[in-house]
Amino acid sequence: MSRAHDRGVTTLTLDAPARRNALSATLVAALADALAECGEDDGVRAVVLTHTGNTFSAGADLRDPPHPDALVGLLRRIVELPRPVVARVTGHVRAGGLGLLGACDIAVASHDADFALTEVRIGVAPAVISLPLLPRADPRALARYYLTGERFDAREAVRAGLLTAAGEDADAVLAPVLDGLRRSCPQALAETKRLLTARVLETFDRDAAELTALSARLFASPQAREGMTAFLERRDPAWVV
């Protein structure tokens, strides 16, 4: 992961394109630490979370998955950070990567980005990432994409509440957002974010333990082992009819 700073905005770039920026235990820890540093730096007005390569994040790294508690901690850190966090997406987003988008305050993408909640196809459920997604996204859209694992485009992601905005050029969409954040009072941004995230944090307080346990149980199940093995071997799992 790399870090850059320009006029009050720190950009954190997921930079493991060969691994499709999958959320490994190492990456989750590094991103959480970088966000903590941003939260303590008075020179940071806002944080942009983006990526190299054609994938924002492929979700959990099946070869080195983070513990569910660590993923909960990362998502909560984004939500609680006293700085707005803005996701910038120009590629594919899968599974746990959508949890990152849900935790961010604002998320923009290019029209060629695409999305899928693929957990059901490998034998698990979008458990932990539901903490930021369920309070923020359209319930009917989540029901469809949680249950089917279908791919959908950026326009549908905006309609479903998973993105704030999309356009041909993600940077053109992002520019007025960053200009507005740079013009805003840091104290006012922090308190306004607190208002906006109160209900999301209530979900974390109420459901995090249950969803963490669900995630751990499913990932340890025989069906999940079959699903993950099939994914890594590039074949259909046994349950496909």
- State whether residue 48 is helix, strand or coil: strand
119 is catalytic: yes
Catalytic residue among 80, 119, 150, 202: 119
Amino acid at 166: A
Q: What angle do CA 147, 166, 7 make, to 5 degrees?
A: 125
CA distance 193 to 185: 12
CA distance 241 to 238: 8
68 close to 128: Cβ distance less than 8 angstroms: yes
Q: What DSSP letter does each residue of 119-170 carry, written as one string?
A: GGGGT----TTHHHHHHHS-HHHHHHHHHH--EEEHHHHHHTTS-SEEES-H
Alpha carbon separation from 167 to 90, 141, 163, 183 (Å, rounded): 10, 21, 11, 23
What distance, in Å, lies between the first and last C-alpha atoms of the chain? 40
Where do we find the tokens 């950026």? 154
| Sign of the torsion angle spanned by Cα atoms 139, 176, 20, 63 | negative
CA distance 74 to 14: 14
Q: Catalytic amino acids?
A: 119
